[in-house]
Amino acid sequence: MVDEIKKGLQVTMQINIEKVDQIIGKYQEDSSALIRLLQEINREFRYLPKEALLRVAEKLDIPLSQLYSMATFYKSFKLTPSGQHEIHVCMGTACHVRGAQKILDTLTQKLHILPGETTADGQYTLETVNCLGACALGPLVTIDGKYTGKLKPKDAEKLVGGLYEKNSESS
Ligand code: FES
């Protein structure tokens, strides 16, 4: 079972294991803080790298299968790296009736990825959510937490195009 889990966890980059140890050190004394520990690792690396989970399991003497269960139960944890920028498309009822599906279709075509995936260049991760709590602004998209509402498919296309242009200017 553990071997299957180890195989299932993807390794796509070298991680700073000292950073993982620092984070473990902060929470080591508090056994109830496991979720916060994993959240901090997830924030630091933008996902839960296999090496980090193995290190937590080893240092805190916790079965890897337990960590893996937590990582897959909570939607905020990722087992593959997120892009530099996270795009969330609201698919809640209010946004749906105002054309959220067309916005999502536009973004999947423009970025060549499906929801839950990251572009090959590691720049963008596309996610869907059920409600962003600002239904009057639907259809609504957030990019790195910034809200852009009342979107039309053309606007969504420009939004992503603009991000790519901005990125190539800064590189
Ligand atoms: S349904 Fe989209 S913000 Fe509420």
The CB of 92 under 6 Å from ligand 1? The reply is yes
- Report the pLDDT value the prediction gives residue 127, as an integer from 0 to 100: 93
Q: What is the pLDDT of residues 9-39, one digit of tens each?
A: 444 457 899 999 999 999 888 868 999 999 9
Residues facing 33 on adjacent strands: none
Return the ligand 1 atom nearest residue 93 CA: 1
The CB of 94 under 6 Å from ligand 1? The reply is yes
89 alpha carbon – ligand 1 mean position (Å): 9
Domains defined along the chain, listed by start: 2-73 (no CATH), 85-170 (3.40.30.10)
Atom 1, ligand 1: residue with shortest CA distance? 92
- Report the pLDDT value the prediction gives residue 1, as an integer from 0 to 100: 43
C-alpha span between 140 and 100 (Å, rounded):
7
Average pLDDT over residues 154-166: 78
Is the sign of the CA dihedral 33, 36, 42, 43 positive or negative?
A: negative
